[in-house]
Amino acid sequence: MRTSVESHVGAANALTARWCAAAGERDFVVSGAGVWPLLALLASAADGPARDELTTATGLPAADGQAAALRLLDDLERAEAVSAALGVWVRRDLPLHEPWSQSLPESVLARLAGQSELDSWAARHTDGLIERFPLTVDPETLLVLATALVAKTKWQAPFDVGTLAPEDGPWRGHRGPGLSRTSRDLTNAAILDASEPVTRVVVEGVADLDVHLLLGTGAPGAVLETGLAALSGSVPIRSDLPVGTKGPGLNVRTEPVVPNTGRLRVQLPPFEVRSTHDLLTAPGLFGLTAATDCTHGHFPAISPDPLCVGQGAQEVLARFGHEGFEAAAVTAFALRAAAAVLRHDYAPVVSVVFDRPFGFLAVHRPTGLAVVAGWIATAPTSSPDVPA
């Protein structure tokens, strides 16, 4: 069982936890792993209060930001079930400092040509799951930074397809699609012993991506925070569950079983959840309060022209079906000229039943990085199509 994660992974997971805590109680999915590298890149190029805020948000020294960002993306690019891409587009009339532009990976930097080019990049680097770039290029856009992540896996053992009809709880009276599976590995079910215990079931993929299903009595952010904390071992994980153990949605009891057959029974609904996030609606969460003040510039390492953050957005999708899981996220920030150099007058344009709201994490097993995290608050009424 993992007892630690590397600093850049822990910092990205910590951002995911804070984001989940602020995301509310409706259906949502977020990818802190998509935002964090961009914030780290911006931190390394910033100065003044913007640098301080971005350093706090990323959880690493700003001087280490670029190396850590590229290392996290490289971790994902080398994964079996996850891939990642970084893109940087610059308008032709924006001068760049050579030390910054030359420090980017080869083939990352391109001229900013238009919206269709960015849409094509998003679709290409997410296997078509995200068809449109989350930002709209306008006449004030001088530079765009983006990440694209895609994660796909088939289950080691597929689920059976049936019906989920909860008899109690917030989904009582619902009747919809359900997935069920019986397996032998009891250690995939555990109770995370936080102040409010959380039941965790790990659904293993055939490659290096697993999905952690999380059920608890607390708020969505608290349940997901506990699941994220368990990735680094900072929350005790109790997988030795004797007869009589009870947890949220979990019961351990003695039943007659056929020798060599499964004894971990899991039921849940299939789900598909998609979210679009304007990252500037909560600038403090991402360390962007100062960086979005366009009365002056904040990123002197990038360009001699003062720049500020004008837009920030993420489009993210996750699907859990009977044969596997897939998720994708495209995250982007657009930089514009600060007021001091505006040159144009443009107008701005174990028996575990997930029969109630639950959380999920898609986890890159070797590093412990949560690629996406989300919450299913509404009982699904149809089954998503997850290609085999």
Q: Find out whether 196 and 217 touch, Cβ atoms under 8 Å.
A: yes
Query: For residue 90, what is the domain's CATH number?
Result: 3.30.497.10
* pLDDT single digits (tens) 171-182: 988 889 999 998
My answer on whether 294 and 243 are in the same domain is: no
Say if residue 143 is in the same domain as residue 290: yes
CATH number reported for the structural domain that contains residue 246 in this entry: 2.30.39
**Count of H-run helices and E-run strands, the chain:** 7, 19
pLDDT at 237 over 90: yes
Query: ∠ CA 130-132-133 to the nearest 5 degrees?
Result: 100
> Between residues 351 and 203, which one has the greater pLDDT?
203
Q: Are residues 144 and 116 in the same domain?
A: yes
Sequence-separated (6 or more) residues with CB below 8 Å from residue 328: 126, 127, 129, 130, 148, 149, 150, 151, 316, 317
Please indicate, yes or no, if residue 388 is contained in any of the structural domains: no
Q: Taking Cα atoms as reference points, which of 153, 239, 151 lies closest to residue 200? A: 239
213 and 116 share one domain: no
Question: How wide is the angle at C-alpha 201 spanned by C-alphas 229 and 195, nearest 5°?
Answer: 40
Inside any domain, residue 70: yes
Q: pLDDT at residue 65 above 60?
A: yes
- For the chain, what percent of residues have pLDDT higher than 90? 79
Instruction: Give the integer Cα–Cα distance in Å for 153 and 26.
Output: 26
pLDDT tens string 309-341: 999 999 999 999 999 999 999 999 999 999 754
DSSP state for residue 29 in the 8-state scheme? E
Mean pLDDT score of the chain, rounded to an integer?
A: 91
CA atoms in the 13 A half-sphere facing the CB of 80: 10
Residue range 254-261: mean pLDDT, rounded: 65
pLDDT at 188 over 80: yes
Q: How confident is the model at residue 5 (pLDDT cuts 50, 70, 90)?
A: confident
**Res 339: pLDDT:** 78
Helix segments in the chain, DSSP class H: 7-22, 32-45, 48-58, 65-77, 98-102, 115-125, 220-231
Structure confidence at residue 3 (pLDDT): 55
Looking at residue 385, its pLDDT comes to 62
List 178's β-bridge partners, or say none: 162
Range of the domain at 188: 154-270+351-376
DSSP letter, residue 216: E
| 3-state class (DSSP) for residue 41 | helix
Tokens of 19: 């984001």
Q: How confident is the model at residue 348 (pLDDT cuts 50, 70, 90)?
A: very low
- Residues 111 and 213 reside in one and the same domain: no
Report the share of the chain in percent with pLDDT over 70.
93
Mean pLDDT within 110-128: 95
109-111 vs 82-90, strand pairing mode: parallel
CB-CB neighbours of 238 under 10 Å = 14
383, part of any domain: no
Residues 164 and 206 grouped into a single domain: yes
- Same structural domain, 216 and 265: yes
Per-residue pLDDT of 137-185, as tens digits, reads 998 999 999 999 999 999 999 999 999 998 888 898 888 999 999 888 8
Residue 110 has pLDDT above 80, yes or no: yes
Over 80: is that where the pLDDT of 212 sits? yes
Residue 352: per-residue pLDDT: 87
| Whether 106 and 87 share a structural domain | yes
- Would you place residue 263 in the very low, low, confident or very high pLDDT band (cuts 50, 70, 90)? confident
284 and 336 part of one domain: yes
Number of domains in the chain: 2
From residue 59, give the alpha-carbon distance in Å to each of 14, 44, 68, 258, 283.
8, 12, 11, 51, 16
Is residue 2 included in any domain, yes or no?
no
Residue 347 has pLDDT above 90, yes or no: no
314 is a domain residue: yes
Copy the structure tokens of residue 75: 């971790």
Count CB atoms within 10 A of the CB of residue 41: 28
pTM for this one?
0.91
What single letter denotes the amino acid at residue 196? E
At 351 the pLDDT is: 84
pLDDT at 22 over 80: yes
Q: Rounded distance, CA 227 to CA 364, Å?
A: 14
CA pair distance 146, 121, nearest whole angstrom:
10
Claim to verify: residue 16 and residue 137 sit in the same structural domain: yes
Q: Are residues 19 and 99 both part of a single domain?
A: yes
Mean pLDDT of 56-61: 96
Q: State residue 168's pLDDT score.
A: 85
Which tens digit of pLDDT belongs to each residue from 66-75? 999 999 999 9
pLDDT for 342 equals 43
Same domain? 217 vs 163: yes
Residue 381 included in any domain: no
